[in-house]
Every structure is written in C-alpha cells, then in structure tokens.
A and B are shown apart, each in its own frame.
Chain A
Amino acid sequence: MNGALLTADHVSKVFYTPGEDVSAVRDASCTVPPAARIALLGPSGSGKSTLLQLLGGLDIPTSGTVTWPAFGPDVRPRNLAFVFQNQTLIPALSVLENVELPLQLQGASNSDARERARAALQRLGLRALSDKLPEELSGGQAQRVAFARALVGEPRLILADEPTGQLDHHTANEFFDAVLPWIEERGSAIVLATHDRTVGERMSERWTMRFGVLEVPG
C-alpha cells in the first residue's frame, strides 16, 4: 500500500526447541497505514507478542519479510516505539530519566530531552512522579510512564503489547482515556495487542490471531 508505515509479507516464526518445533507465527501478512488504530486480538499464547516483536524488528522472522517503507534506515526509536506488558522501566533511572532516554538515544541535547520529557509527563499527568524510581510506582503509573517514554520521541508507529494486561478494568480504561487522545493528536499509528475485547472496541480496526495465524479483515 502506498504510504504504509509497515508491511509484513508472509512472515513466519518458528522456535526450535529440543522436544518440538513451535510455529508461533504462520504466514502472516499485513499493512499498517499512518494514524491507524489497530487492535490485535487473540487469546494468550496465540502469537500476538511474537508478531509484534517481528513487526517492530526486535526479532527476525524465520521466513517472510517485514519492511518499514516510510521510515528509512532509522526505525527505532525515532519512528517506532514499543510498550510492553511487563514493567520495562529501567530500575536505576528515575521516571524523568526513563522518559528522556529515547531522546538521548536519538542524540537530542540534554536540555531539549529534559524539556520534552517533562512535557510528556505533564501531558499524562505524571509530572509529580518525575523524581520517583520505578520501584516506587504503582502498576498503572509505571505503564503510563512507559507510554510517555514511547510517545516522547513522537514516533509514527507504536506497538503496544498488552499494556494494560496487569491492570484492573477501571484502571485500564483510565489509562486509555489518558493515552489515546494524545496518540490521536500526534497522528501516530498504534497496533495494540490485547486479549480484552472491550479494549479492542476502542480501536478502529481489529485483527485476530489464532494459533499463530493472523486474520486481517477485508
């Protein structure tokens, strides 16, 4: 598709283990257009996380190709950001320093990184937590900080792997109420893996994953 952020073409991933070979993703093909809001639905173990890691370039497919036609050579963190299910803040850095990190990896100046990180935390109502360490945050706070870290570099695509998987329903809704408008404002695309249909309902498009097979409607 012309102008697509990401294209996966017949992508498969097999994990070779001593007992048996596990096909986590089977012949998946998809395209992510700009500003898309896609929910990747499926039960646990269906291959959602593996597919997201393949789409984000964190893992290499056994066969098939993943390309990012709009990004050029600089994929992460400038154009593509990840949010994970588990706590993935760096424990030795404060909230503010965690959020600054993607900007520093892009080579931003210290003052610029600090200013933009503060703005991102402000946007998500986390400014008061700036100096806290990750271990001092609640689960919901930590995930919001992780999203702030993902969004601070204004990436064009966010791949979120069950970011509210460990939160209760109410907290998860609060989380999306805070995060999704910001994503929309930025015009970033998001592919959000979840097994929660109500979360999926908040997205404009829904893909399904079953036993490693990706079903993309239309």
Chain B
Amino acid sequence: MIAFVWLRGILSSLSGRLLGAIAGVALTIALLAALGAFTASSAASMTKQAIANVSVDWQLLVNHGADIAAVKKAVATATPFTAMQQVEYASVPGFELQSRGTTQTTGAGKVVGVGASYQYDYPREFRALVGKPAGVLLAQQTAANLHARVGDRVTIKRDALPPVQARIDGIVDFPDADAFFQAVGLPPGSAPQAPPDNILILPETLWHQFFDAQTAVRPDSMRTQLHIRISHDLPGDPLAAYKVVDGRAKNVEARIAGSGIIGDDLAAKLLGTQADALYARVLFLFLGVPGIVLAILLTIGVTTSGRTRRDREQALLRIRGASSSTLLALSSIEALVVAIGGSVFGAAAFLFLHPHPVRGDLQWLFAAIVAGVFLALGAVLVPALMQMRSRTVRTSRNAIGRATAPLWERLYPDVLLLGIAALTYWLTAASGYQVVLAPEGVPQSAVHYQAFLGPVLFWLGAALLSMRVYRLLLVHGRPVVVAASKPLAGALAPALASALSRQWSLMTRALVLVLLAFSFGTATAVFNATYNAQALVDAQLTNGADVTISAQGSASPMQVLRRLRAIPGVLAAEPLIHRFAYVGNDLQDLYAINPPTIWNATPMSDAFFGNADAKGSLAALAAHLDGVLVSEETVTNYQLQQGDRLQLRLQVLPSHRYVAIPFTFIGISREFPTAPHDSFLITNASYVARMTQNPGAEYVLINVAPGNIERVATEARKFVANLPGAHVTTILEAQLAIGSTMTSIDLRGLTALELTFAVIFIAAATGLMFALGLAERRRAFAILTAIGAKPSQLGAFLWTEALAIAVPGAVLGIALGIGIAQMLVRVLTGVFDPPPEHLVYPWNYLALLIVAAIVATAVAVAAARTMVLASVTTELRRL
C-alpha cells in the first residue's frame, strides 16, 4: 500500500530532480544506442563501398590442360555469381610500329584477349581515351612509346612464330592494371608484381587466331583466367563478409582440385576494410565513450543533488517506523520510475534520430536500454543506500564544512594519472602512432588500444587536478575570490567568498561537470573540424585541386588555359607537367611545376616536404633550375646526399627517345597533388620543358571560389570536349571516390550527434546542476532575503556563484578539450594521410557552446531568483 502511495506521490509531484534523472538516463540510452548504430552502419557502408571498388572479385587462373568448362561449372555450383568472363593472356617479346618514316619498337609486353561483352561486365578495367572502345586497343603508355595513332598497324612479335599485324582501333588506359595483371597464387607477403609496360588488347577471336599456335609451341607464355563477379549478398561486417567470400573461394578451389587457383581481390579488399572498420571503432571509443561517461556523471550528479530532500524523507519515514528494507524498496520505486521514463524517452530520441532502424540498430538500442536501467538503479539506489548508512546529522552535512582535503587529494591520483598519460603518450609516439595494426598476409587487424590510455588518462588526470586547484583556490585563495567577486557582489563579496570556500565540495563537483562537458564538446568539435579539413586535404591530394583537367599526349589542356582562367569563379589555373622518368631502372612519375605560382592553384602543405617547410622547399626549387625533390624511398634506395647530381632519363619530344638529363637533388618530397603515394619527383616546369623540348602540360589545376566547383567543372568540360582523352575531375568526386583510408570514414553523422549532445550536456551541467544545487540551498537564500537582501543583491549573489562555476569550468574545459584534441590528432597521426599540421578550430561551434552555457546559466539564475523570492515565507516555516 505504502509503495502505491509513494509511487503516486512521485508521479504527481514530478520534481525537477526526477525529470533531470529521467533526462540523464534518456540521454545516455540515446547516445549509446546512436553511437553503437553508427559503428555498425559505418562498418556496413565501408563493406559496401569496398565491394563496389573492386573491379574483378575473383581472377581464377586456370592451369594448363585443365577443363575450362568443368571449372566454370564448379564455380557456378559453389557460388552465385553475376558475371564470368574468360580472359586470355599471351606474353610477347615486343611490339613494333612503322609510321611517318620511323620505326619504333618496345620491349616485352602482354597481349590480352577478351570477349565482346567483357567491357559491359567490367567497364572499369580499361577506359577508352582515343578512338573506339572495342576492337584492337593499345595501352596509352605503349601508344606513347610507339608514337601510335588510331588506324596505325602495330606489329606483334610472337615467341617462336612469325610476327602478325593488327590495326589499332583505340587507345585505352588501365586504371587498375596492378590487379588486372596480378600474379595469381603468390604466397602472402610476396613483393607485388609490376604490370607490363606494353599492353595490347584483342577481341578473343583475333587473339585465338594469333596465339593458338603459340600455345602449342610456348605454353608457358600463355595464361587463361576467369574473371568472376560473385553475388554481393554479403554480411555488413567486413570480417564476416571476408569469411563468406574466402569460404566460397576455398570451396571452388576444392571442387576444381588443382585445375586452377583463385586470386581473391574481393577478400583482400575486405581485409583492408576490416582495418578501416577498426578505425571506426577507434573513433567511436575516442569520441563517443567520453560522451557516455559524461551522461552517466550528469545523471549521478542530478540524483545525488537531492541529498537534503532524501535526508528529510528518510528521517520522516524512520520516525514512522520504516525499516531499512522499506526505505530501500521505496527508493527502488523511484529508480524504477527513472529507468522506465529514461528508457521510453531514450528510445524515442534514438528512433527520432534513426527513423528507419535496421536489426543491428535495434540490437544496440536494446543493449543501451539495459545499460540505462542499470544506470537508473545505480544512480538512485546507491546514494540512498549510502545515506541510509551515514545516519548521523554531521556525516550527512558534509556538503558544507571545514577545509579538510578529501582523501583522494591526499593520494595524488591526478598526478599519477597525468604521469601515466604522459608515459603512454610517449610510448605511442615512439611506436610511430600506429593505432591499428594490420600485418601483411594475416587475416586479422588489431587495434592498439593502449593508445587510448594517453588521452583518456589525461582527461581524467586533468579533471582531478582542476578540482584540486579549484578547491585550493576557494579555500586558501580568499583574497583572489573576493577580488574576482567584487564587480558583481560588491560589499557581499567577502561573505560570498566565505560561503564558496565552505561549499567547496558542491562547487568542485559542479565545476568538474561543467569542465568535462566543455572539454567533451571542444575536443569533439576541434577533432572533427581538423579531421574534415584533413579529409579535404586527402581529396585535394587525390584530385590535385578543386577542379583538375588532365590529358595525355599532344592534347595538352594548356591549349585552353587562357579560356579556363576566364571562367567566372576561377581564382587561379596553373599547369602541371606530368611525365615519367627513369631513376636508374626505376620508372617514376615526374611532376614539373612553376614553384612561385603553384600555391595559387592548390594548397602546398608543410607535410608534403621532408623538411616540413613548403615555402622553403619551393623557394629552393625556384632557386635551382635543375633542382629535384625526390621521395624518401628513393633517397634511401639510391643513397642520395643533398647536392648530388642525378641523371634522370626522360622522353625527349622530337625523337621520343629517353635521354639522360642532369638534375640536382635538393630535398625530399612526401606528398604532392595527383602524385602516387610511393616514389615520385618534383622539378621545375621551365627546365623540364626546355630539356625535353616539350612545353605541354598534362594537367591544369584550378582553384575555385567556394561554391563554384560544379559550375566551373561544367564550363571546363565544354572547353576540353574536343581534346582527345581530356578529363575534368573535381575534389567533390574525389571525396566520394576515396575508398579505404582513415579520412574516408564519414564522421558527419557521428559528430553531428555528438556536437548536439555536447550542447545539451553543457546546458545541463551549467544550468540544471546549478538550479538543482540552488534548490537544495533555497532556505539559505530565503534567510538572506528575510534579513534584508534586496532582489538585486540576491541576483548578484546567485550570478556570482553561477559564474564562479561556469567561467573557470568553461575556460579549463575548453583548454582541456583542445589538449585532448591535440593528443587525439597526434595519436591518430599514423592513419592520417598526410598528418594535419595544426588543429582547426570551429569558432562558430565553440561560440555556440559558450552561448548555451550563458543561456542555461541565465535561465537557472532567473528561475532560482524567482523561486527564492516567491517562497521566502514557505521556506522560513520549514524545519
């Protein structure tokens, strides 16, 4: 009966504290479920993206003499598939072309035979640049070597057989040549094989006409592959998807019993994605868990703020004979109300954020509700139990008291935590900031979770240190507090300073919540802004600039440079020469620029250069006409010293022969727009143009005013429509296309969620906690009014107390947040490409956090002032 009366009382009164506790549990549930759902959905979208990025799922190498029909049948039995194409490969000694009075020859190459529908099934394997997209197709580099044009007749040399000729129908490039020509069946960890330098594609009938005879005499020079796209009905988790794909491949290999071997590109891609999924989990932990911890702390803060009320209720119940078990049962009813209310509102908030939840989302929601119920029970019952045990009046009044340092301060956990944080941070730095470990050839990636310890312990240690310093300031820094309070409190400043010093327990608790809320919001926002900026840099590196025009051969986009520069919205357009140069026997990409003006078209980051000084490196290049910046790998491989003279072989225009040209090694380049990740060279455009007698630039990089990228790209496409093989690409397309790097993980959903929650947390920590604290001391303010405090004096008292929490909490929290963000970025250095040079501060959002705190504080102070003034007589009648 008493339980029913108690429940009715709780529901009819619905105090701010109860609603606050329900809101805290609801926030915890919503945040936990949303973060879990984010992790699951990001893994699923990464899996989907990874699958979409694989051109050919399986390349099944059929052994000589095997029954191809039987192999195809085995594949069809083992797995559902959507495409299966037979592809023939023939190794040839070389190609030759006689035209315009000269004879050009190449080294060894490959002739590939494909069916008529191959391009329909695998449109991304090769791409038409000039001429027809089908028929006899010559690879772009081979065409350049042979000076071949569409319509020319190329001679194909054959092993042990006379050469044959074919008329070129088109020139193509192989965007994914590494995979297309991969060596199937190499053991894991083997060095990757470079694709052939010279490639010709023939229709399968012509291929058989030319090479069936070679099969008879040189079978070792021939290969047959089946290119298979299996059904993509796979699990969302990349590891689970990998296991399905790998299982199917093994099943096929078992069925064909030595007749072939599968090059499983899809499984390899999924393995790489597994590491990315772990990155997403890392981000979830780094960014999400502090938010959940904060929501829990706020809930506990709300429930423990009702100490006085609970004391009174427990005393009254005990007077009327209630036993400890009865008190606990009644507290359980309150906990149940909080748990049910929190679960309902938390689930509603989650479903508002995810209106169409999938099964995985609902599983996370269920788990979050279970956690929320435990939180509600713990947050309500534990304080009630503790108060039941501390029966003396003195022990129950420890919120106000003498300045004895709490036990934890005397044990110095803050110093200890900061020390361990520094140590683990140093160890992470020493390991090269490798957070996710993905050893070659091992089908498992692992997260180096110890890397978390640095930022997490720093967060905790700094929060505790702030509490210690704040308590010392309140208790021992009275003159400072009086001076700081004077502008608002005036003559009441000394009394206020005394009150604050004796309420240090309440004050430090409130301060730490504000501090943690601000640090959470700041760290998330700064990390997010830096991350997004870095994703942009990544896309910029891939595409080269906001808009990039690329073309090969004689069709240089330089022809339309002036017109491109005249497009409205174009801030700058700069040519970029892209050639190939032999460093020893190693063919590398060479980029030639005009150092003083390249900045106008694309950002030059310090991280691009070995000396971490973009300005200095480009100035050095400008000062040395024959200067060259080379990659670190080349410096190591060739034992280069600053100032060394290098003989690089470049193709010279009149003869199209590779000729040695002298360069001087002046520095190291790590990244460059459009450049590959491994080895490349940066030189002066004027020098390369003069020495190769070829002024044409293969790229034009365009810097576009914000918001004009699509429009400028559309205009540019019109200008280059007549340039054979010219392409216009944008940074926006690059952002979509980047498939498997850290910065490809879309944080927008996660951060939007967290940034919203951070604003709520800050409003709750400043406003709600302050209001609840004041409600607890309403009687003291009523006494102040009764002895003659004017409303303005009461307001000054309240404002000073609120600001004494909010201002240091905000300042320290923002500083701590920036520190955490800096640590996060440093810890994740190994997964950024390139690492960010500095943090990016989202000033608008930080201003929003401060405004939220000011508004919440103002509302709380105004509400408290009104409440006190309206209830003076009521409060004075109370015991």
Q: How far is the CB of B491 from chain A (nearest CB, A)?
A: 5
Q: How far is the CB of B756 from chain A (nearest CB, A)?
A: 37
Closest B residue by C-beta to A54: B873
A33: Cβ under 8 A from any B Cβ:
no
Question: CA of A12 to CA of B555 in the docked complex: distance in angstroms?
Answer: 100
Question: CA of A105 to CA of B492 in the docked complex: distance in angstroms?
Answer: 7
Question: CA of A185 to CA of B503 in the docked complex: distance in angstroms?
Answer: 38
Q: Quick check: A53 and B873 within 8 Å, CB to CB? A: yes
Could you say which of A53, A58, A92, A105 contacts B789, with CB atoms under 8 Å apart? A105
Among the 9-residue stretches A78-86, A121-129, A172-180, A199-207, the one with 4 or more Cβ atoms under 8 Å from chain B is A78-86
Residues in chain A near residue B494, CB distance under 8 A: 97, 100, 104, 110
- Mark A96-112 against chain B: 1 for CB-CB distance below 8 A, else 0: 01001110111111100
- Mark A48-86 against chain B: 1 for CB-CB distance below 8 A, else 0: 011001000011000000000000000011100110101
Q: How far is the CB of A27 from chain B (nearest CB, A)?
A: 20
Residues in chain A near residue B491, CB distance under 8 A: 104-105, 107-110
Q: How large is the interface on A (under 10, 10 to 19, 20 to 34, 35 or more residues)?
A: 20 to 34
Q: Quick check: B873 and A101 within 8 Å, CB to CB? A: no
Q: Quick check: B873 and A59 within 8 Å, CB to CB? A: yes
Question: CA of A110 to CA of B489 in the docked complex: distance in angstroms?
Answer: 13
B859: Cβ under 8 A from any A Cβ:
no
Q: Which of B852-873 contact A (CB under 8 A)?
A: 872-873
Question: CA of A118 to CA of B793 in the docked complex: distance in angstroms?
Answer: 24
Residues in chain B near residue A110, CB distance under 8 A: 491, 494
Question: CA of A78 to CA of B400 in the docked complex: distance in angstroms?
Answer: 29
B502: Cβ under 8 A from any A Cβ:
yes
- How many contacting A-B pairs (Cβ < 8 A)? 84
Q: Which of B762-794 contact A (CB under 8 A)?
A: 780, 783-784, 786-790, 793
Q: How far is the CB of A136 from chain B (nearest CB, A)?
A: 10
Residues in chain B near residue A149, CB distance under 8 A: 787
Could you say which of B397, B490, B499, B879 contacts A90, with CB atoms under 8 Å apart? B499
Residues in chain B near residue A78, CB distance under 8 A: 788
Residues in chain A near residue B690, CB distance under 8 A: none
Q: Quick check: A58 and B499 within 8 Å, CB to CB? A: no
Q: Quick check: A58 and B872 within 8 Å, CB to CB? A: yes
A43: Cβ under 8 A from any B Cβ:
no
Could you say which of B393, B793, B876 contacts A88, with CB atoms under 8 Å apart? B876
Q: Quick check: B495 and A97 within 8 Å, CB to CB? A: yes
Q: How far is the CB of B504 from chain A (nearest CB, A)?
A: 10
Q: Quick check: B492 and A76 within 8 Å, CB to CB? A: no
Q: Quick check: B397 and A135 within 8 Å, CB to CB? A: yes
Given A82-B787, A91-B400, is A101 in contact with B876 using a C-beta cutoff of 8 Å?
Answer: no
Q: Quick check: A84 and B786 within 8 Å, CB to CB? A: yes
Q: Quick check: A77 and B400 within 8 Å, CB to CB? A: no
A31: Cβ under 8 A from any B Cβ:
no
Q: Quick check: B783 and A105 within 8 Å, CB to CB? A: no
Question: CA of A24 to CA of B752 in the docked complex: distance in angstroms?
Answer: 57
A94: Cβ under 8 A from any B Cβ:
yes
B877: Cβ under 8 A from any A Cβ:
yes
B363: Cβ under 8 A from any A Cβ:
no
Q: Quick check: A93 and B499 within 8 Å, CB to CB? A: yes
Closest A residue by C-beta to B506: A92
Q: Quick check: A104 and B783 within 8 Å, CB to CB? A: no
Residues in chain B near residue A59, CB distance under 8 A: 873
Q: How far is the CB of A159 from chain B (nearest CB, A)?
A: 10
Closest A residue by C-beta to B872: A58
Closest B residue by C-beta to A49: B877
- Mark B487-515 against chain A: 1 for CB-CB distance below 8 A, else 0: 00011101100110011000000000000
Q: Quick check: A86 and B787 within 8 Å, CB to CB? A: no
Residues in chain A near residue B356, CB distance under 8 A: none
Q: How far is the CB of A150 from chain B (nearest CB, A)?
A: 8
Q: How far is the CB of B458 from chain A (nearest CB, A)?
A: 34
Residues in chain B near residue A58, CB distance under 8 A: 786, 872-873, 876
A133: Cβ under 8 A from any B Cβ:
yes
Closest A residue by C-beta to B783: A88
B394: Cβ under 8 A from any A Cβ:
yes
Closest B residue by C-beta to A104: B491
Q: How far is the CB of A4 from chain B (nearest CB, A)?
A: 21
Q: Which of B359-400 contact A (CB under 8 A)?
A: 393-394, 397, 400
Q: Quick check: A86 and B879 within 8 Å, CB to CB? A: yes
Q: Quick check: A90 and B784 within 8 Å, CB to CB? A: yes
Closest B residue by C-beta to A161: B876
Given A108-B491, A133-B502, is A102 in contact with B788 using a C-beta cutoff of 8 Å?
Answer: yes
Q: Quick check: B786 and A93 within 8 Å, CB to CB? A: no
Question: CA of A108 to CA of B788 in the docked complex: distance in angstroms?
Answer: 14
Closest A residue by C-beta to B879: A86
Could you say which of B780, B787, B789 contacts A91, with CB atoms under 8 Å apart? B780
Residues in chain A near residue B786, CB distance under 8 A: 58, 82, 84, 88
Q: How far is the CB of B784 from chain A (nearest CB, A)?
A: 7
Residues in chain A near residue B495, CB distance under 8 A: 93, 97, 100-101, 104
Q: Quick check: B499 and A105 within 8 Å, CB to CB? A: no
Q: How far is the CB of A183 from chain B (nearest CB, A)?
A: 17
Q: How far is the CB of B864 from chain A (nearest CB, A)?
A: 16
Question: CA of A101 to CA of B878 in the docked complex: distance in angstroms?
Answer: 22
Could you say which of B492, B503, B873 contacts A104, with CB atoms under 8 Å apart? B492
- Mark B470-499 against chain A: 1 for CB-CB distance below 8 A, else 0: 000000000000000000001110110011
Question: CA of A84 to CA of B877 in the docked complex: distance in angstroms?
Answer: 9
Question: CA of A53 to CA of B400 in the docked complex: distance in angstroms?
Answer: 29
Given A84-B876, A86-B876, is A76 in contact with B788 using a C-beta cutoff of 8 Å?
Answer: yes
Q: Quick check: A101 and B400 within 8 Å, CB to CB? A: no
Question: CA of A102 to CA of B873 in the docked complex: distance in angstroms?
Answer: 19
Q: How far is the CB of B395 from chain A (nearest CB, A)?
A: 12
Question: CA of A78 to CA of B397 in the docked complex: distance in angstroms?
Answer: 33
Residues in chain A near residue B873, CB distance under 8 A: 50, 53, 58-59
Question: CA of A120 to CA of B418 in the docked complex: distance in angstroms?
Answer: 51
Could you say which of B401, B402, B502, B793 contacts A105, with CB atoms under 8 Å apart? B793
Residues in chain A near residue B397, CB distance under 8 A: 91, 135
Q: Quick check: A97 and B780 within 8 Å, CB to CB? A: no
Question: CA of A53 to CA of B397 in the docked complex: distance in angstroms?
Answer: 29
Question: CA of A91 to CA of B495 in the docked complex: distance in angstroms?
Answer: 12
Q: Quick check: A135 and B780 within 8 Å, CB to CB? A: no
Closest A residue by C-beta to B397: A135
Q: How far is the CB of B377 from chain A (nearest CB, A)?
A: 32
Could you say which of B394, B788, B878, B879 contacts A135, with CB atoms under 8 Å apart? B394
Given A49-B877, A58-B872, is A92 in contact with B783 using a C-beta cutoff of 8 Å?
Answer: no
Given A86-B879, A90-B780, A135-B394, is A81 in contact with B787 using a C-beta cutoff of 8 Å?
Answer: yes
Could you say which of A81, A84, A92 contacts B498, with CB atoms under 8 Å apart? A92
Question: CA of A100 to CA of B494 in the docked complex: distance in angstroms?
Answer: 10
Q: How far is the CB of B588 from chain A (nearest CB, A)?
A: 75
Closest B residue by C-beta to A77: B788
Closest A residue by C-beta to B489: A104
A-B contact pairs, 10 of them (CB 8 A): A53-B873, A88-B783, A90-B783, A92-B780, A100-B494, A101-B787, A102-B788, A105-B492, A107-B490, A110-B494
Query: Which chain B residues have a beta carbon within 8 Å of chain A's beta carbons?
Result: 393-394, 397, 400-402, 490-492, 494-495, 498-499, 502-503, 780, 783-784, 786-790, 793, 872-873, 876-879
Known: A90-B780, A92-B498. 15 other contacts (CB 8 A): A58-B786, A81-B787, A86-B876, A88-B787, A88-B876, A90-B499, A90-B784, A92-B502, A92-B780, A97-B495, A106-B788, A108-B491, A135-B393, A135-B397, A150-B787
Q: Which 9 A-B pairs have the closest CB atoms?
A: A77-B788, A76-B788, A92-B499, A92-B502, A104-B491, A88-B783, A59-B873, A105-B788, A90-B780
